[in-house]
């Protein structure tokens, strides 16, 4: 399998990206290929050992870089030789079987959608993140690919993230919840209400109904479906809150007794490790016709290694084929003629 990686994307690129690629090698098959896309000279300066591994790792030059805070569409138009643009082109031309980037999320979504197109039957792709919680991992889709969400999109996110949960995480008959502001049928905005009807009418979905913000951490569902704006807020809020709470605990412990703080440290580290999202290595952009994983901007080598392994698993488990088959058999289609 040929997996192309954005060597220039992320807060710690290219160092951590390249390190992650090399960490992943021992877990791959001999005929797997990893393609580092980015500024060739810069990449080479980070790989003193490339010669030894050259059979598995290659470089495709992409002289331009899209910054983390650049406007997605504009930057893609201006920088056709950026690593993200080149990555998307490799996928389109069939020169890469999977693409991975920890760069500008908006630019990745736009480039991958534009070049790879959607899977048959899919109206809009969604980013599907696995969030580790105290009651097990919860898959959340969408977390920001689509901020003009329609009911059919939410229905398809449920289908796609359900397949991801079952075949990537091994959850049998994943329980699917629809993010809303109350459990009853009557609650939620119009889009959520319509999506709820669609989900209820599909007997093959293990739909548990509306969920609320607190339910994500209560172990009531394996998949949480929501529009991209809401999902993005959830994801970023979880990060900020956990970070803040740990800082606060540390502060209080230091006030109490330094020795107590030191004793507590390994406990905190264990919790951090247990609920480390880096373990899940990248979020698939579900619904594009190919394998595309988007990683957190702060990704370290471990995240990238896990993303590479995740891309293989995604492909080996034929997630896209399962999504296409499911949607081709589903009676639920977009009834809204106006849009996708």
Binding residues for a second copy, per CB under 8 A? 69, 71, 106, 133-135, 144, 147-148, 179-184, 186-190, 212-218, 226, 228-230, 232-245, 247-249, 252-253, 256, 260, 263-264, 266-268, 270-271, 274-275
**Which CB, 218 or 321, lies closer to a second copy?**
218
In this structure, are residues 303 and 159 in contact, taking their beta carbons and an 8 Å threshold?
no
Contacts of 206 (CB under 8 A, 6+ apart): 162, 173, 174, 175, 176
DSSP 305-327: HHHHHHHHHHHHTTHHHHHHHHH
322: tokens are 């399962």
**Least distance (Å) between residue 167 CB and a second copy:** 27
**Which CB, 112 or 326, lies closer to a second copy?**
112
**Which CB, 14 or 177, lies closer to a second copy?**
177
**Which CB, 31 or 190, lies closer to a second copy?**
190
**Least distance (Å) between residue 278 CB and a second copy:** 17
**Which CB, 11 or 252, lies closer to a second copy?**
252
Contacts of 43 (CB under 8 A, 6+ apart): 7, 14, 18, 36, 59
**Which CB, 27 or 217, lies closer to a second copy?**
217
**Least distance (Å) between residue 6 CB and a second copy:** 19
**Least distance (Å) between residue 61 CB and a second copy:** 29
**Least distance (Å) between residue 340 CB and a second copy:** 16
**Least distance (Å) between residue 71 CB and a second copy:** 5
| CA 45 to mean position of chain CA atoms | 29
**Least distance (Å) between residue 267 CB and a second copy:** 5
Q: Give the β-pairing of 283-286 and 207-211.
A: unpaired
**Least distance (Å) between residue 339 CB and a second copy:** 13
Rounded to whole angstroms, the Cα distance separating 95 from 183 reads 47
Burial 5-28 (b: 16+ CB within 10 A, else e): bbbbbbebbbebbbbbbbbbeeeb
**Which CB, 189 or 204, lies closer to a second copy?**
189
Rounded to whole angstroms, the Cα distance separating 224 from 208 reads 10
**CA separation, residue 50 to residues 62, 133, 247, 259, 331 (Å):** 18, 38, 40, 46, 51
Identify each DSSP E strand in the chain by its residue range.
2-6, 33-38, 57-61, 98-101, 126-131, 138-141, 176-179, 207-211, 223-225, 283-286, 291-294
| CA 217 to mean position of chain CA atoms | 19
């Amino acid at each position: 399998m040929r997996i192309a990686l954005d060597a220039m994307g992320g807060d710690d690129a290219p160092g951590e990206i390249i390190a992650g690629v090399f960490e992943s090698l021992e877990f791959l098959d001999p005929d797997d290929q990893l393609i580092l896309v980015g500024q060739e000279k810069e990449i080479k300066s980070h790989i003193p050992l490339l010669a030894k591994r050259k059979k598995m790792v290659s470089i495709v030059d992409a002289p331009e870089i899209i910054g983390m805070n650049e406007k997605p569409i504009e930057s893609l138009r201006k920088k056709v030789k950026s690593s993200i643009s080149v990555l998307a082109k490799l996928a389109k031309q069939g020169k890469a079987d999977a693409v991975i980037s920890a760069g500008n999320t908006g630019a990745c979504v736009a480039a991958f959608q534009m070049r790879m197109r959607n899977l048959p039957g899919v109206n809009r792709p969604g980013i599907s993140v696995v969030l580790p919680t105290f009651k097990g991992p919860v898959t959340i889709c969408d977390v920001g690919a689509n901020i003009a969400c329609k009911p059919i999109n939410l229905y398809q996110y449920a289908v796609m993230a359900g397949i991801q949960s079952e075949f990537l995480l091994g959850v049998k008959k994943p329980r699917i919840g629809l993010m809303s502001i109350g459990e009853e049928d009557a609650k939620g905005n119009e889009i959520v209400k319509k999506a709820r009807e669609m989900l209820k009418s599909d007997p093959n979905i293990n739909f548990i109904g509306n969920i609320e913000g607190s339910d994500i951490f209560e172990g009531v569902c394996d998949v949480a479906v929501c529009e991209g704006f809401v999902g993005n807020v959830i994801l970023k809020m979880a990060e900020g809150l956990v970070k803040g709470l740990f800082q606060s605990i540390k502060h209080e412990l230091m006030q109490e007794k330094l020795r107590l703080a030191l004793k507590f440290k390994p406990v905190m580290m264990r919790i951090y490790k247990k609920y480390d999202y880096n373990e899940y290595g990248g979020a698939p952009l579900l619904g594009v016709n190919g394998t595309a994983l988007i990683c957190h901007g702060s990704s370290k080598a471990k995240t990238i290694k896990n993303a590479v392994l995740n891309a293989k698993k995604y492909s080996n488990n034929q997630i896209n084929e399962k999504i296409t088959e499911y949607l081709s058999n589903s009676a639920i289609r977009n009834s809204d003629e106006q849009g996708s």
